Structure 1
Amino acid sequence: MIKVEKLSKTYQVLRRNAGLKEAFQSLFQKEYEEIRALDEVTFDILDGEMVGYIGPNGAGKSSTIKVLSGILTPDSGTCVIDGRIPWKNRKSHVREIGVVFGQRSQLWWDVPVIDSFELIRDIYMIPKEKYESNLEELTVSLSLEQIIKTPVRQLSLGQRMRCEIAASLLHSPKILFLDEPTIGLDAVSKLAVREFIIQLNQKHNTTVILTTHDMQDIEALTSRILLIGKGKILLDGSLTNLKEHSRNQSASLDEIVAQLYRQYEI
């Protein structure tokens, strides 16, 4: 179970005007602006839930995922995941989670995919039988048979993303964080990824937290939505609840979400 209470995180961002004079002055006098990425964010997620975490760019989605995965330490607030505090119990925590960032890779660019998988096996110290069993299941489920011996740099985006998902699941995590997993994928690749995530949840009861701007991903995968804007949770409920907050409930989900962004001025 994931329990988050009053999580806050602030960044300091350097600001200066354009021009050589301003650049020179900034060497001696720096001006910073505080950006409140997370503002007392609070929510609970049960084991096996599939949750869509949505909001505009800069709303705080990725910051939340980084805190939940132990990459960032918050300024205040608490986060407990199955009895662990992510940023304090990092080694034990990462053994129980998988993370896929759509715009970052955990695979080595110039070597075959299987070499990356075997290095990940060593990093997580996965027992041989468990590794071989998981590798076989993931290879079949994600159709990796023809590409697993190919260098990552020679793969298409869709092929690489399937390999990224497999790499995140080799150690059988209980929780999977997906940050824009279908960004840039064609329709066929998107359907394959969605179908696999649904099967993963049904077969292994894996908890899935999905951040995306693709509302078709949200409709296909999640039963609950968290809407975040300016670092605050604005809405927590089902797709039906989301539509009830719209003036035009017959509109598409993309239109409804855009209306909510304007409504909450985010």
Structure 2
Amino acid sequence: MIEVDRLGRTFKVRGTVTHAVQDLSFGVEAGEFVGYLGPNGAGKSTTIKMLTGILAPTSGRLRVAGLDPSRRRTALARKIGVVFGQRTTLWWDLPLKDSFELIRLLYKVDRGAFRRRLDELCALLDIGDFLATPVRQLSLGQRMRGDITAALLHDPPILVLDEPTIGLDVVSKAGVRDFLRRLNAENGTTILLTTHDLGDVERLCRRVMLIDHGRLAFDGTVADLRAIVPGEASIEEAVTHLYLSSRRSPRTPPPRPAQDPPSVTA
């Protein structure tokens, strides 16, 4: 579903060239639930923007659902759903249901299919009680559930999530996590999740990738990640260890592990 081969993206600001993403390669198969982690400034957001066609790569090859994102943005939009936790795709002054109707028109979704999909998502995300509420009056948790619904109304096979639980209370966070788990398990939706909340990763993701200095520093399972640190390490300890190791040796990321636990060259 996602193919990334030696991807690079540079920015030039006041004569200084910054390599936001360097020589990045990975693949995501249909039905995977992958956590994409990294410290601030590591290149996560730049990667997501290239995957969704917002930015064009400087070098390398990229395909999402068989399409070049920056060249086929309109076609790609019908195959992916995107949720940015700190931004909304909903119309601020309109009732939630009106935002959904506008999205139906934008994606040219058949009215009958739209109604069935919306009813299903309303039941799963428990948003029926505030469909008539203007978006500006929704709580953060309600708005986030509305944004996730909006991203899925056209039934895309790929969902890209950037900090979908940021700022949510415990109950709202649990509800979003449960929905995403079911969406992946029951619908087979491919999900790529970027987050700083390692609880999201531990509860949802079967595979984890970590990027730092624009390069892939780790690719494996949560168990592989924990095995990096001796003893009964928490996922937080393992990720911290990887961050620090990557910063000491940013040009030697470990390969994706197969059978044996991965090691990190310091």
- TM-score, normalised to structure 2, is 0.91
C-alpha displacement of 1:234: 0.8
1:10 aligns with 2:10: yes
Write the mapping of 1:82-231 to structure 2, written as runs, cut at 5 A: 82-231=65-214
Q: Could you tell me how far apart the structure 2 residues matched to 1:208 and 1:173 are? A: 11
Q: Could you tell me how far apart the structure 1 residues matched to 2:246 and 2:21 are? A: 16
Aligned residue for 2:259? Answer: none
Q: Could you tell me how far apart the structure 2 residues matched to 1:205 and 1:158 are? A: 25
Q: Is contact 1:142–1:196 with CA below 8 Å preserved after alignment?
A: yes
C-alpha displacement of 1:249: 3.7
Q: Could you tell me how far apart the structure 2 residues matched to 1:251 and 1:260 are? A: 13
Q: Could you tell me how far apart the structure 2 residues matched to 1:185 and 1:255 are? A: 24
Aligned residue for 2:38? Answer: 55
Bigger CA radius of gyration: 1
Aligned residue for 1:259? Answer: 241
Gaps in structure 2 of 5+ consecutive residues: 251-266
Aligned residue for 2:253? Answer: none
C-alpha displacement of 1:213: 0.5
Q: Match for 2:155: what amino acid? A: S
Q: Match for 2:237: what amino acid? A: E
Q: Is contact 1:249–1:256 with CA below 8 Å preserved after alignment?
A: no
Q: Could you tell me how far apart the structure 2 residues matched to 1:122 and 1:249 are? A: 54
4+ aligned runs moved over 6 Å, structure 1: none
1:32 aligns with 2:8: no
What whole-Å deviation, never above 9, does each CA across 1:97-116 have from its counterpart, x for those lacking one? 00000001100111100111
User: Percent sequence identity over matched residues?
Assistant: 49
Tell me the C-alpha RMSD between the 2 structures.
1.1
Q: Is contact 2:30–2:189 with CA below 8 Å preserved after alignment?
A: yes
What whole-Å deviation, never above 9, does each CA across 1:126-148 have from its counterpart, x for those lacking one? 01111001100011100001111
C-alpha displacement of 1:162: 0.4
Q: Match for 2:8: what amino acid? A: S
* Alignment size in residue pairs: 248
Partner SS, residue 103 of structure 1: coil
Aligned residue for 1:73? Answer: 56
What whole-Å deviation, never above 9, does each CA across 1:67-90 have from its counterpart, x for those lacking one? 111111000111112321111111
Q: Could you tell me how far apart the structure 1 residues matched to 2:81 and 2:73 are? A: 13
Aligned residue for 2:263? Answer: none
Aligned residue for 1:233? Answer: 216
C-alpha displacement of 1:32: 3.1
Aligned residue for 1:250? Answer: 232
Q: Could you tell me how far apart the structure 2 residues matched to 1:217 and 1:95 are? A: 26
Q: Match for 2:71: what amino acid? A: K
Gaps in structure 1 of 5+ consecutive residues: 14-30
Q: Is contact 2:206–2:222 with CA below 8 Å preserved after alignment?
A: yes
Q: Is contact 2:23–2:60 with CA below 8 Å preserved after alignment?
A: yes
Q: Is contact 2:65–2:79 with CA below 8 Å preserved after alignment?
A: no
Q: Is contact 1:67–1:87 with CA below 8 Å preserved after alignment?
A: yes
Q: Match for 2:240: what amino acid? A: A
C-alpha displacement of 1:60: 0.7
